[in-house]
Amino acid sequence: MADTQVGVLSCSGEEFLGGTIVRLATRKVMEELRTDKVVTLCLPLYIAGGDEEREFAKTYPVIAVDGCSKSCARIATLKYSGEVRDTIVLSDLFGEDVVLSNIVSARDLKPEHYEMVDKVAVEICKKMDAILAE
């Protein structure tokens, strides 16, 4: 399984704190915690994309990481590519009222928000490791 990669598809909600947190957490996993093990796509490109993008979840086991219970990344993956191996929804971790609070960009984040990023990144890594260990 050494060469196996896991697809991590995060939602792209820019209007809510949850969307910002999932994007930063996915990036942290990709760039720091599990380099070379993550394949990811920009969700809007995925939704707008052609066959190559739509092959994403057919090629890689996918973890959908969503900023709130609307679960845009999970729904898009199910609709366009098929199976979702696991999911993370930030409202389950922090509460819907927190993830839908109105902080928009990474510029406005406070230390407690970066702690949330770290927690989500760890959750992604746990799920990735479980898939990679199969």
Q: Which residue ranges make up the site for ligand SF4 (CB under 6 A)? A: 11-13, 16, 18-19, 66-68, 70-72
Closest CA to 120 of 21, 6, 47: 21
* Residue nearer to ligand SF4 on the CB measure, 27 or 70: 70
* Residue nearer to ligand SF4 on the CB measure, 4 or 101: 101
Which residue sits closest to ligand SF4, CB atoms considered? 13
Q: How far is the CB of 134 from ligand SF4 (least distance, A)?
A: 27
Q: How far is the CB of 2 from ligand SF4 (least distance, A)?
A: 33
3-state helix, strand, coil split of the chain in percent (to 5) is 55, 10, 35
Measured CA to CA, the distance from residue 10 to residue 126 in angstroms comes to 16
* Residue nearer to ligand SF4 on the CB measure, 42 or 132: 42
Q: How far is the CB of 21 from ligand SF4 (least distance, A)?
A: 9
Whose tokens are 């394949």? That residue is 39
Whose tokens are 């990735």? That residue is 128
* Residue nearer to ligand SF4 on the CB measure, 37 or 64: 64
9 beta partners: 64
Q: How far is the CB of 133 from ligand SF4 (least distance, A)?
A: 28
Burial label, 27 (beta-carbon count in 10 A; 0-12, 13-18, 19+): middle
In three-state secondary structure terms, 96 is helix
